[in-house]
Amino acid sequence: MNRLLAIILINVALVFPSQVHAHTDAHLDTVNAPHGGQLRMAGPYHLELVVKDREIALYVMDHANGKINADGGVSKAIVQTDKVKTSVKLEPFGENVLKGTAEFLARPETTVTVFITLPKQEAQTARFKPFAPKNKEIKIKEGAGEAPAPQTADHNKHHH
């Protein structure tokens, strides 16, 4: 009985830290997003913002990055650079995408705040910095509790 309890507690300790860490903005900035954009968590969703030229695309996914139908969804993005704000209406476009176009300034400090409501769901909000330099921290594998140890110059001499 004690051994079973110890095994359960060890497994919980290994799994729990990765679950907590998995959804921070800092962690999501290290993940390669499915469409090359920036990921954020908003309630039950992962939202991926892709900005190209004057077009904004918002992909709606579950926490495993599976598609969530955006038909009937209502969304807008507020693009802010310095004190200039531009509102962009995002409309359903395809299975899990909302899109819109507008003229806006694109700088590293530009912030895009997205508001989204899907049918029969609560409204959600997420804030993105799509033009900021990518986070270059060590990538942490999904499900792993900690980052790998840094490699040294003698890594070829390592034996198992």
Within a domain: residue 25? no
Burial class (CB in 10 A: 0-12, 13-18, 19+), 12: exposed
In a domain, 6, yes or no: no
Q: Does the pLDDT of residue 69 top 70, yes or no?
A: yes
E strands, 33-92, are 38-42, 45-52, 55-61, 74-81, 84-92
Q: Is residue 66 part of a domain?
A: yes
List the Cα angle 121/19/50 in 5-degree steps: 55
In a domain, 17, yes or no: no
Q: Which domain holds residue 117?
A: 31-133
Distance in angstroms (rounded) separating the CA atoms of residues 45 and 17 = 20
Residue 158, pLDDT above cutoff 70: no
Residue 17 has pLDDT above 90, yes or no: no
Mean pLDDT of the chain: 79
Residue type (1 letter), 82: D
139 inside domain: no
- Lowest-confidence range among 15-29, 42-56, 60-74? 15-29
Domain harbouring 38, CATH code:
2.60.40.2480
Instruction: Give the burial class of 88: count Cβ atoms within 10 A of its Cβ; 0-12 exposed, 13-18 middle, 19 or more buried.
Output: buried
pLDDT confidence of 74, banded at 50, 70, 90? very high
Relative to beta strand 45-52, strand 74-81 is: unpaired
Is residue 9 very low, low, confident or very high in pLDDT (cuts 50, 70, 90)? low
Angle at 68 between CA 64 and CA 73, to 5 degrees: 145
Considering the domain boundaries, does residue 76 fall inside one? yes
Domain count, the chain: 1
Residue 86 lies in a domain: yes
Query: Residue 75 above 70 pLDDT?
Result: yes
Per-residue b/e over 47-82, b at no fewer than 16 CB within 10 Å? Answer: bbbbbeeeebbbbbbeeeeeebebeebbbbbebbbe
Instruction: Give the angle subtended at the CA of 19 by the CAs of 15 and 20, to the nearest 5°.
Output: 120
In this predicted structure, what is the pLDDT of residue 51? 94
- Look at residue 93 and tell me if it is in a domain: yes
